[in-house]
Amino acid sequence: MNIESLHWGELSPETFLAEYWQKKPLLIKQAFKNFQDTIPADELAGLAMEGEIESRIVSNDGNNNWQVDHGPFTDFAQYGEANWTLLVQAVNNWSRPTNALLAPFSFIPRWRIDDVMVSFSTPNGGVGAHLDQYDVFIIQGSGKRRWQVGAPNSELITLLPHPDLKQVSAFEPLIDEVTEAGDLLYIPPNHPHNGVSIENSVNFSIGFQAPSSQELWSSFADKLIDNNLGEQRFSDSTRKTTTTSTLISKDDQQQLKAFMLEQLENTEMFEQFIGQYLTQSHHALELLMPVNDIDEEKLIDILSEPEIRFMPVSGLKAAITQTTLFLNGDSFPITAKILPLAELLAQQTPLTTEQVKSFNTSLKNSQLLTSVLNKGYWYIE
């Protein structure tokens, strides 16, 4: 699936970003023609049985009594045939076809996307009306679902029908539609929404990473501590006398603020911090580390085999700058000579034996290839 497979109708990615992104919801009917679920329901249930994969079942009895159960699950029979939803996070980390759903949204930087959550809902299944603090595209898979989406409203009341379930009070919908396979719903942050399954249905929710200022500052402070940076003390050698010793003057406040911001002005350090932070996966990855480390000599032996492909693990987060390749929070220094290879790795393009051979003429390329293979981010198929 590629960007051309998303049928915008009268819109385009440019008009979408200008008129809808983080502004108002949008429903595009038949955005994906002949859409097929990228993962069968029974396979999704199998993922929910794995301990390292985050999953939950939200159910209700039809009388507004809600229950939340967290995986891993061993059996689903107790939930019956209606009124419940199974939600599995980061399915794209375990299902390559599901990871391919990210490609149509490549008009937004990849670091902005978090994961693809997949939900299977029985009739009347849902999680209730609620708000999210991030953007989400929801692709309707098999089955039908009624979606209602409203505008931000500070008068909405927060409800807690269960300790693990935050909902909001009733709202006036801007969108009230039944979605079918291939329909695409975009919901900006803080827009109340409620999806109720009409029949057994599957939804693919592409959630976006939206770090808070608190999270960024906290992680930045951790970076300073981990690298023994920012240890120098505040200096005020040009200080003049004060007439009020208890006053924290405006000038002192500005100097202290500037002192703190000096670390952010360290371009090289900030680039390392933000690249590592934004590519760190929030969910488990199926890393495929070799039993024995691969060195340059071993790589040459591998390349003597015909029809080998070098593949990225599914769901890998990657980004690149002029000086560094970032994979899952790890950084790999690069130079102009190995930039073409680094760009392919960042794009997670499968590489043939011949392609790898063409890059393997350079020692630095070989070292980069063996590094990502030994980390388990790429593997030999």
Please state the domain count of the chain. Answer: 3
Same domain, yes or no: 129 and 26: yes
Spatial separation of the C-alpha atoms in residues 339 and 160, rounded to whole Å: 51
- CA end-to-end distance (rounded Å), the chain: 21
Mean pLDDT throughout 302-316? 90
Mean pLDDT throughout 356-378? 92
Q: Let me know: does 225 contact 178? Beta carbons within 8 Å.
A: no
Q: What is the CATH number of the domain that holds 336?
A: 3.40.366.30
Q: Beta partners for 309?
A: 352
Same domain, yes or no: 30 and 123: yes
Q: Let me know: does 89 contact 115? Beta carbons within 8 Å.
A: yes
Residue 307, in any domain of the structure:
yes
Whether 1 has a pLDDT exceeding 90, the answer reads no
pLDDT at 305: 83
Same domain, yes or no: 112 and 40: yes
The predicted-structure confidence for 73-130, as pLDDT tens digits, reads as follows 999 999 999 999 999 999 999 999 999 999 999 999 999 999 999 999 999 999 999 9
Same domain, yes or no: 319 and 346: yes
pLDDT at 138: 98
Q: Which helix or strand (DSSP H or E) is residue 353 part of?
A: helix 353-359
Whether 282 has a pLDDT exceeding 80, the answer reads yes
Same domain, yes or no: 199 and 82: yes
Same domain, yes or no: 321 and 301: yes
E strands of the chain, at which residues? 26-28, 55-60, 66-70, 84-88, 113-121, 136-140, 145-150, 158-162, 165-168, 173-179, 184-187, 193-197, 201-208, 309-312, 318-320, 324-327, 330-333, 351-352, 378-380
Same domain, yes or no: 158 and 61: yes
Residue 356, in any domain of the structure:
yes
Whether 332 has a pLDDT exceeding 90, the answer reads yes
Same domain, yes or no: 192 and 219: no
- Among positive and negative, which fits the CA dihedral 239, 244, 248, 253? negative
Spatial separation of the C-alpha atoms in residues 200 and 182, rounded to whole Å: 16
Same domain, yes or no: 201 and 257: no
Same domain, yes or no: 128 and 201: yes
pLDDT at 381: 86
Spatial separation of the C-alpha atoms in residues 114 and 351, rounded to whole Å: 25
The predicted-structure confidence for 220-267, as pLDDT tens digits, reads as follows 999 999 989 889 999 989 999 988 999 999 999 999 999 999 999 989
Share the mean pLDDT of the chain.
94
Residue 17, in any domain of the structure:
yes
Give 308 or 151, the one with higher predicted confidence: 151
Same domain, yes or no: 96 and 35: yes
Same domain, yes or no: 184 and 220: no
Residue 289, in any domain of the structure:
no
pLDDT at 3: 40
Q: Which helix or strand (DSSP H or E) is residue 106 part of?
A: none
Q: Which domain holds residue 217?
A: 213-234+248-265
The predicted-structure confidence for 123-179, as pLDDT tens digits, reads as follows 999 999 999 999 999 999 999 999 999 999 999 999 999 999 999 999 999 999 999
- State percent of the chain over pLDDT 70: 99
Cis peptide before 72 (omega within 30 of 0): yes
For the record, the structure tokens of 164 come out as: 């693990």
Residue 78, in any domain of the structure:
yes
pTM for the structure as a whole: 0.91
